């Protein structure tokens, strides 16, 4: 049974390798043309800019949530002493 599992894993890895290889070859052919390369650069640049905007927004919201949580966890002080 372990032998069958091993054969299945090898077959799966082989198929995955073939798919990755075919995708890499297709990308290399597509990027060999200068026009396609420039289009790909523009798309990647716009995706990077959009990703940066999203990352900044997520970071901002995370900091807001952190501040809210920290305010709720701070013990209330009464005359310089912690309230129990």
Q: Which three-class secondary structure state does DSSP give residue 5?
A: helix
CB 40 within 8 A of CB 31: yes
Mean pLDDT per 10-residue interval, the chain, length 84 residues: 60 85 83 80 89 92 90 65 54
Question: In this structure, what DSSP letter does residue 79 have?
Answer: T
Whole-number pLDDT of residue 3: 58
pTM score, two decimals? Answer: 0.45
User: Among positive and negative, which fits the CA dihedral 19, 24, 30, 32?
Assistant: negative
Residue ranges per structural domain of the chain: 1-32, 34-84
């Amino acid at each position: 049974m372990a032998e069958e599992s091993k054969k299945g894993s090898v077959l799966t890895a082989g198929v995955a390798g073939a798919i990755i290889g075919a995708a890499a070859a297709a990308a290399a052919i597509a990027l060999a043309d200068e026009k396609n390369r420039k289009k790909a650069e523009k798309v990647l640049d716009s995706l990077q800019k959009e990703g940066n905007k999203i990352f900044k927004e997520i970071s901002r919201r995370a900091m807001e949530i952190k501040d809210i949580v920290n305010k709720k966890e701070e013990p209330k002080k009464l005359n310089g002493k912690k309230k129990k």
